[in-house]
Amino acid sequence: MKRIVLFDGECNFCNSSVQFIIKRDPVAHFLFASLQSEKGQELTKKYKIPEDVDSLVLIENGRAYTKSSAALRIAKKLDGLWHLLFPFILVPRKIRDAGYDYLAKNRFKWFGKKEVACMLPSPDERKRFI
């Protein structure tokens, strides 16, 4: 079963996060689509994701996860020790999301915003974008 990661295609941090996931997901658990793409918009409507969500979204088992819940569920499937972060799912979501929101609020200031140029994925990576 494939999981879909929706991300803000204009955000450098989000694009770097996608590259981070790809490098640590050799069995290709995840597919990717930018929130701004046609497919991203279609999935946003299908899963009733609020329009103000502009960061990471994970669609898994017919359900959409946002913010820290999405990040922790993604970490659970990555190679390396990243799965060790998943127990933080036990921390109340309000507390987890406060830290996530702080990063999300400052991501353009800290990491910048995409202008025109974007990464050129390899042929294997290209297959993972929907």
| Tens digits of residue pLDDT in 6-18 | 998 877 777 888 9
User: Who has greater pLDDT, 1 or 36?
Assistant: 36
Q: What's the rounded mean pLDDT across residues 25-43?
A: 94
pLDDT-based confidence at residue 119 (cuts at 50, 70, 90): low
pLDDT in tens, 102-113: 877 776 677 666
Each domain of the chain, given as residue ranges in start order, spans 3-125
Long-range contacts of 111-116 (CB under 8 A, 24+ apart): 111/11, 111/12, 111/13, 111/16, 112/12, 113/10, 113/11, 113/12, 114/9, 114/10, 114/11, 114/12, 114/15
> pLDDT at position 116, please?
47
> pLDDT at position 99, please?
82
Q: What's the rounded mean pLDDT across residues 32-61?
A: 91
